[in-house]
Each structure stands twice: as C-alpha cells, then as structure tokens.
Amino acid sequence: MNVPALPSLRGFFRVLTGSSSVRESARRQTRLEALLGRDTEPAPISFEQSRALAGKSVLVTGAGGSIGSEVCRRLLYYGPAHLILVEMSEAALYEIDLELRELQRGASGCEIIPLIGDVRNEDTRRRIFENYDVHVVFHCAAYKHVPMMELNPNEAVLNNVQGTVEFASSARDAGVDRFVLISTDKAVRPISIMGATKRIAELYVQGLALATDTRFLTVRFGNVMGSSGSVIPLFQRQIESGGPVTVTHPGVERYFMTVAEAANLVIQAGVMHDSGEMFVLDMGRPVRIDELAREMISASGKRIGRDIRIEYIGLRPGEKLTEELTSQSEVLEQTPNARIRRIKSNAPALPELRQAISELVQVARSGNRAAIDACIRRIVPEYDPGHGRLHGRTHSQSLSPESSATG
C-alpha cells in the first residue's frame, strides 16, 4: 500500500480519528481515503428523515464514550427538543455535557440533560422513562475491550447482555418509538466473551422487535479509528516514547471506520428503516495492522527497525486474525443508502431466549468462566472460546529490530 507520508504523526492521528482537521483539509481527507480504500465523507440524512429527530426527546446511553459522544454532537444538528445523556462516568459526562453546551452556545431549542446512571439499575431506568417522554434511544453503552473482558467475563455479561436486555425492555414498556443497538463485527462467529455478549444482545433486540410497536434496530461496526482503547492511540504513544510498536501478528487485519462514519451510520439506521433490521457500513477492504503501524512510524519521520522497531507479541485471548461482517446464515442486501447494507437473518424465539439469558445472568454473578461459556454456547452455538485462547498461544512471538526493519 503506497500512502504519501504525512507531515507529522499528530497530523496523521487527527486524520484517523475524524477530528475537525479532517473536515478542514481535503488533502488529509484524501490520504485517509487512500488508507481505507474508500470515500469516508458521511452522507447527511435527508430533511424527511430528520423529522424522526426534530423536536423529539432523544436519549444516548454511553454518551461520554467515543461513539456515544460523536452521536450526541451530530444529533444537535437535527434539532431534538431534548438530548438526554446517560453515562456511568462522572468525568466523561462532565466533558461531553460541557462540549455540547459550547457547541450550541447562542442557539435556542435543544435542552441538554446529563444523567449519571447505570443502565442495569432499575431505579435509574424508572426515573428516566417516568420523567422524560423519550422518543428515540441510541444504546451505545457497552464494555468493548476484548482482552479486558476475557479477564472479566462476568462483567461483560452483566453489562453487555443484562444491561441491554433491561434497558431495551424498559424502553419498550415506556412506549419509545425507536431503539438503536450498537454492535460489533466481533459478534460474528465469536471467539471472545465480548463478541459473544454482543451477539446475544443482537438476538434479544431482534426478537423483541417482533413483539412490540417499538422499532428496534441494530448497527454493526468494525474498528473505530481513534476510539478509546483502539490501536491507533496505542501506536501513537509507543512511537512518541521511542517504541517498540507492538503488533499482535503480521497477518492480522481489521475493518476500520472513522468516528464520523460510525456516528452517521447509527443515526442513519435510526431514522431510515423498519423494526428488527440490522445494518453494517460498507467498509471496503480490511486494513492490515502491520501496514498501519509502518505508515504511522513513517509519518512520524522515524525509520522502521532503526529508530523504531516493530515487535510481534502474538494474538491475545479472544482475538482473531481477521474479522467477518456477516455469518454464513446471514445475507447482505442493498439499502437506499449505497454505503449501508442490510443484514437479513432469522429472529430467535423470544420466550426461550429470555429464559436462557436469565440463566446466563445468574451464572455470570458467580464468576465461573466455564459455566458462563457453557451458558453462552446454548444461546450462540458457534461461540468458540477455546479457539481464541489457542490462537493467543500459537502465534505468540517477538521479533528483533533487525527482523522488522525494511529497506
């Protein structure tokens, strides 16, 4: 892949994270598109579609996170009457609340309502839906870091499964018009606990859509460039400290999207389509992480193998060499938006799924990993956690500076 060197590492990083410099610089936009192999400019929703948001009460869970905060920023432009920010982290909530108020300084209309709370807490949910007439929910709250969730499987289940089930059910009971779940490509044939819990959340929302007037939709993401815990800020820190830059495996590759693309996809799905549907962005070809590391080192003005070495540390538990956007039982279809694909699949039987999830949540509270895995496999038969842990051992290696140098 031949991408022109960028003027600085920080400039390169700003391009990848989708910050304001991307919008201000066509040159940087072109280089980002060269890296990803596609146009990354998000298409705005139409005036007709924006009516689903204008003058409405819109709620975002995980509002202080990378995706949730960008969704909030973009929602302001569509004129909701109320923007309700639900977030567990006081610091993250403070930052996004302050930023949104600055963004709309001098403008009238949208009331920003910051709420500290855990979506699993029944009292929190009751207060939200009793005090606010919520029309649209964007459920961005989740634990997403694969290796961390391998170490904390019970919390992955309680937050990603129980949290989604209870908040989605409360939204349905409150008569919310639309509920959009944020998911991940790691939910496809999962080998990680994080991916498996997100797959269960997908199934529950899909099943719930058949039993209610609330329109439930799901959006699957690839990796979001520059999001919290993603590889790009990690590489940036490693380069600035003199290396080494750690890559799990020379062949590992991932689908990437910018934060702006991710937020736009969430909003597009929330206003365009019918209940029970699942969507994914056309993300083009996957990006090889080794190539990304080399581009970032070169962009910093450093020489690979001399100034900065690349160290291959092996796939970690729960990680794959490559990710998939759909499983063999799912079919991709076109939508009116050329950049968004619809995923067609069969909805589960909700009563049986509810019972299985209830058992999983009870087991998760015990913290027994083997029992958690067994319960998950009853819901997601393709879940293969042993495969993930085997990968982590099989490919572990460390290469010397000389072996990672390029001429």
Per-residue pLDDT of 192-235, as tens digits, reads 999 999 999 999 999 999 888 999 999 998 877 767 667 888 88
Average pLDDT over residues 108-129: 94
* Euclidean distance between CA atoms 394 and 316, whole angstroms: 10
Q: Where are the domains of the chain?
A: 9-227+255-285+330-348
Task: Give the CATH number of domain 9-227+255-285+330-348; options: 1.20.1440.230, 3.40.50.720, 3.40.50.300, 3.10.100.10.
Answer: 3.40.50.720
Per-residue pLDDT of 342-378, as tens digits, reads 898 888 899 999 999 999 999 999 989 999 999 999 9
Confidence of residue 401 (pLDDT cuts 50, 70, 90): very low
Res 397: pLDDT: 37
SS (H, E, C) the chain: CCCCCCCCHHHHHHHHHCCHHHHHCHHHHHHHHHHHCCCCCCCCCCHHHHCCCCCCEEEEECCCCHHHHHHHHHHHHHCCCEEEEEECCHHHHHHHHHHHHHHCCCCCCCEEEEEECCCCCHHHHHHHHHHCCCCEEEECCCCCCHHHHHHCHHHHHHHHHHHHHHHHHHHHHCCCCEEEEEEEHHHCCCCCHHHHHHHHHHHHHHHHHCCCCCEEEEEEECEECCCCCCHHHHHHHHHHCCCCEEECCCCCEECEECHHHHHHHHHHHHHHCCCCCEEEECCCCCEEHHHHHHHHHHHCCCCECCCECEEECCCCCCCCCCCCCCCCCCEEEECCCCCEEEEECCCCCHHHHHHHHHHHHHHHHHCCHHHHHHHHHHHCCCCCHHHHHHHHHHCCCCCCCCCCCCC
Instruction: Report the range of poorest mean pLDDT among 178-182, 351-355, 387-391.
Output: 387-391
| Pairing mode, strands 310-312 and 245-247 | parallel
- Structure token pair of residue 160: 């990603």
Reply yes or no on whether 344 is catalytic: no
> Which member of 186, 302, 320, 344 is catalytic?
186
Per-residue pLDDT of 261-306, as tens digits, reads 888 888 988 887 777 888 988 777 888 899 888 988 988 889 998 8
CA distances from 276 to 172, 178, 189, 212, 269 (A): 13, 11, 20, 10, 11
Q: Is 80 exceeded by the pLDDT of residue 246?
A: yes
Average pLDDT over residues 176-180: 96
Closest CA relative to residue 105, chosen from 68, 141, 76 = 76
Confidence of residue 406 (pLDDT cuts 50, 70, 90): very low
Mean pLDDT computed over every residue of the chain: 83
Confidence of residue 402 (pLDDT cuts 50, 70, 90): very low
CB 348 within 8 A of CB 207: yes
